[in-house]
Structure 1
């Protein structure tokens, strides 16, 4: 069956799923195969639960005319997504970067939704499976689609761009994330810049932060729409403050966000800029950003008993960790505590990057708790530092009386699940 025929089956269904636990009546089920699973085995169950059609790539699981046999279900999903994208008249904005992708995506979505029928990547469905699923969730009513793209190796962003065919692109930053897969910071820059390569080759538009010299230089030959505090740009940001929430002034408009940390300022600035490009009224941009409240352990401000807690436990890498610590140290509060967890996927750079974080806090006169094997391997003798090789040992030694009337930053990679600290507090 060719992709055009499969597309007609797709249009006959109400949505796509790859998980039999989430099947609803009238779904199209894709049986994807991975290293540890073979969803072909669930084809019959999917039909019994109400799927209208199932797409498989193993003839041994063929059932009846509701079963569509293809050579490769994942490749078919990707081809179907690209075919669907080409049938729609919507504009697509793709964004990537080392830090801040999801927050920026949600801010852009909030702003553009003030005027347009807008859909965006749900959660972090931003890989070779998530991007196709996102595209296939767009309908003929969708006017703007926002597609988040994640990557941890070269050529992944290029591949996703060829599926999504974006009209616009934005890169939040180049940071020390996924160093193991990219092979170092230069690999990160090259990999993420594949979005810029696509925009240039296809004469599309980049949204660019001119205050980031690397982003500015990488986009000199691309048609671009810009923002800056320091240079001539399409959107001039007059002032930025963060104590702890980010406040921004531009074009005589003051925006008081619910986002913590100066590192979130450019996420907001990007949403302002993109909203302006799409002719959203300034007051509606302000309203959208001010009503956005972060969730999912991303820069949340939580009051628990007599403590104020900045919970930033969704993810961490050396760049985001350093930015969070720098911002935390500048906040106007005397009694502060840092609870930091290991940063993952750093490969050969892991030991040195964890060591740098520790060394940056020497002499800062605040109590620091380091949790995880990578921090533990770099432990030093300092009366303000406590090291634990895992969360369990930290929780066993936890004394609540030491955590009273403090401002506390909790930051670590997702695998550390440091939101568990809230239960101790």
Structure 2
């Protein structure tokens, strides 16, 4: 496999694609095998749709000199991305964590783009395929690259760091996410900390949140640049934070009012502010960037429907993110509050324990109507007048369709697989 040769072809192309439904003219199609399909079978279709070359790893699908046969297409994509990263030699910021990765990445991007030509991971393309595609989206005009890294088992962050070779790294937090794959919370800490190990080994810099004791402990061996709330030893000090419901922070006598809901988003804002400071973005530009950012894709969105205010946070959920969302909701100075909570996935043997813990958390809340949706919540139900349990979304929607919410504030949160944003269709 001649990666330099493939890279020379890539530089003349319009980019790389792994999906024939998104083929661009003069692009390169990489045929990657999936669990249910063999993308080699789509090589001819990719050429017909305008691809200049196709990279395959099954010689039975060789077509002509536009076909590049490699031992493994996925490995070729990853090695090409790493080669391109070293060809560009641009500074790269990588971030991972249990919660808030995508929001933080978007905030960092809008802040740094006030001064630099930046490119960042699109959506949440943050795995062993998404990270290479992100790196290959950078070009000679890119001044700073921002790469989100996701993981659901150990050694994955280590592998992604070896591909992207970040100069800077940030871990949003260490929470109860993907417990099944990591083997528990300690496994999560170990897995996410693989980024710190890479930064330490290569003498690179970490951004550290001094509010997080795990990060404080890890930072002792790292070159780092820190932030904290009223922390004298922080490089960047935030003097005030509040959220009712939108996050506001006070920094260097500048008040920043965001469109992000909940205190749990404050660290995401503070991280972007800190990274902006490190890269010498002017304070007023940082303020403008953070205040103009509006979340979408079901992430902490505040919506209005009829007389109701709705906090839609249905993109994903795990015990840590669910806890902070509920805690923040309980603190809101609102009347007629309603919670609609969906199952959390990928918790393995901790599934029942973690869902029961959330139900127990709300046992003493008598003035909030709580709707629990999904099999896991249904199996830990208790009898309370304001608690309502439904085994699946169909049984829930049949009931909710008959309800009439007025002048209420609703929190809708659950794992992506629950697709709780469908609830909006039933709120009249």
TM-score range, shorter chain: over 0.9
1:66-85 mapped onto 2 (5 Å cutoff)? 66-85=66-85
State the match for 2:309 in structure 1: 308
C-alpha distance after superposition, 1:110-130 (max 9, x if no partner): 000000010000001000000
Structure 1 unaligned residues grouped into runs of 5+:
none
**Residue 89 of structure 1: CA displacement?**
2.6
Residue 80 of structure 2 aligns to a residue in which SS?
Answer: helix
1:260-409 mapped onto 2 (5 Å cutoff)? 260-365=261-366, 366-409=368-411
Structure 2 unaligned residues grouped into runs of 5+:
none
**Residue 401 of structure 1: CA displacement?**
4.2
8 Å Cα contact 1:29/1:53 also seen in 2: yes
Residue 224 of structure 2 aligns to a residue in which SS?
Answer: strand
State the match for 1:26 in structure 2: 26
Residue 239 of structure 2 aligns to a residue in which SS?
Answer: strand
**Residue 9 of structure 1: CA displacement?**
1.3
**Residue 6 of structure 1: CA displacement?**
1.0
Does residue 1:57 correspond to 2:57, yes or no? Answer: yes
8 Å Cα contact 1:89/1:140 also seen in 2: no
C-alpha distance after superposition, 1:331-366 (max 9, x if no partner): 010210000000000000000000000000001121
C-alpha distance after superposition, 1:225-265 (max 9, x if no partner): 00001422000000000000000001111100000000000
Cα distance in 1, alignment partners of residues 394 and 108 from structure 2: 39
Q: Tell me how large the CA RMSD over aligned residues is.
A: 0.7
Compare 396-405 and 14-23 and name the one that shifted more.
Answer: 396-405
Residue 142 of structure 1 aligns to a residue in which SS?
Answer: coil
Cα distance in 2, alignment partners of residues 85 and 237 from structure 1: 34
Cα distance in 1, alignment partners of residues 25 and 314 from structure 2: 36
Cα distance in 2, alignment partners of residues 46 and 26 from structure 1: 10
C-alpha distance after superposition, 1:10-69 (max 9, x if no partner): 112111100001111111000000111100000001001000000000000000000000
**Residue 397 of structure 1: CA displacement?**
1.3
Cα distance in 2, alignment partners of residues 361 and 402 from structure 1: 23
8 Å Cα contact 1:354/1:375 also seen in 2: yes
Cα distance in 2, alignment partners of residues 203 and 363 from structure 1: 50
Residue 203 of structure 2 aligns to a residue in which SS?
Answer: coil
Compare 4-13 and 257-266 and name the one that shifted more.
Answer: 4-13
8 Å Cα contact 1:179/1:346 also seen in 2: yes
Cα distance in 2, alignment partners of residues 403 and 319 from structure 1: 28
8 Å Cα contact 1:82/1:164 also seen in 2: yes
State the match for 2:214 in structure 1: 214
Residue 125 of structure 1 aligns to a residue in which SS?
Answer: coil
**Residue 156 of structure 1: CA displacement?**
0.1
The number of aligned residues is 425
Cα distance in 1, alignment partners of residues 254 and 315 from structure 2: 31
State the match for 1:43 in structure 2: 43
State the match for 1:98 in structure 2: 98
Cα distance in 2, alignment partners of residues 214 and 268 from structure 1: 19
8 Å Cα contact 1:78/1:129 also seen in 2: yes
Cα distance in 2, alignment partners of residues 59 and 83 from structure 1: 25
- TM-score when scaled to structure 2? 0.99
- TM-score when scaled to structure 1? 0.99
Cα distance in 2, alignment partners of residues 113 and 17 from structure 1: 26
**Residue 202 of structure 1: CA displacement?**
0.3
